[in-house]
Copies of this chain bind each other. A is one copy, B any other.
């Protein structure tokens, strides 16, 4: 049987509440008493029951992290940052996958409300408005990425501007036939819309007519799907001068397809991605990408979350994370 405060109290010859006081350190406890209690805790190998504490305090010390696809390197790096930052602040992280299923997102909110989670960091895909309806009795939520029409706090990179800048960078050496990979066929994700918008804006700036045939769709944002989509595309279309993939993962798939066909990168075609994942940095050739500080995302997301946990009143707050264009070998002129 596990030791409880009661056991510790009995052994130390004090009341349970005093043991609690020693642990929490808010109510002062005299030196000798504190020592006796601490020794008793050590002797009994006492570990507080977090369920009980959570019930009493209304706080579990756990935050939820919900990402669309846990298998991607980007998810992994983001999760790492969030886990580390959260841990530094005494939080544990419960991880969830929303997948393509928008229903899951709602389910998560429910689970959060079940109080096993003090707050939720959510990277939505096709977030239905109904899912995060900021009504009453909802747990604190921080959204990651491009979502419109949501009233929750949000941390994001300006995908539109970044995509625009990347397109401009790809065009600089005089490239004009610039393709994008990652446009969705069916329902567009908010992110895809932003990035496609930035791309089109850049084309306009450059005085290049938009060419629908250069916008390659891709059902899922994975290397496999990207590789396949690009292969099919190249079977039917001429090689563009540059290819801007909406994520690094897709870019890696694209690089593989290009290599298989003997297309040289960057000599025959420049390639770029988005996210700056580690594997992109070590791709062959190393991948030009939109880079941003994932640790900063984690830090701000957690700050917003904890602040909202203690004060639910203030309105929606947005934090924009800077980005840079990292020109690597895959787009060297």
A contact set with B: CB distance below 8 Å:
2, 45, 47-52, 54-55, 60-62, 65, 69-73, 75-77, 79-80, 83-84, 87, 92-97, 110-111, 113-116, 137, 222-224, 227, 249, 252-253, 255-256, 259, 278-279, 281-286
With A55-B49, A71-B80 in contact, do A224 and B282 touch (Cβ < 8 Å)?
yes
Contact B93 A94 (CB under 8 A): yes
Contact A92 B116 (CB under 8 A): yes
Q: Which residues of B contact A62 (CB under 8 A)?
A: 94, 116
A87 to B76, CA, bound (A): 19
Q: Which residues of B contact A2 (CB under 8 A)?
A: 113, 137
Contact A115 B83 (CB under 8 A): no
- List the 9 closest A-B pairs by CB distance, nearest first: A76-B76, A51-B54, A70-B80, A256-B282, A284-B284, A51-B55, A50-B116, A223-B282, A71-B80
- Report the copy number of this chain in the oligomer: 2
Known: A47-B114, A93-B95. 7 other contacts (CB 8 A): A52-B55, A61-B116, A71-B76, A73-B279, A224-B281, A252-B279, A283-B284
Minimum CB–CB distance from A76 to chain B (whole Å) comes to 4
Main SS at interface, chain A: helix
A52 to B233, CA, bound (A): 56
26 pairs across A/B with beta carbons < 8 Å?
Answer: A2-B137, A47-B110, A47-B113, A48-B114, A51-B60, A54-B55, A54-B116, A62-B94, A70-B76, A70-B80, A71-B76, A87-B96, A87-B97, A93-B94, A93-B96, A94-B95, A222-B278, A223-B278, A223-B281, A224-B282, A252-B282, A255-B282, A255-B284, A256-B286, A259-B285, A283-B284
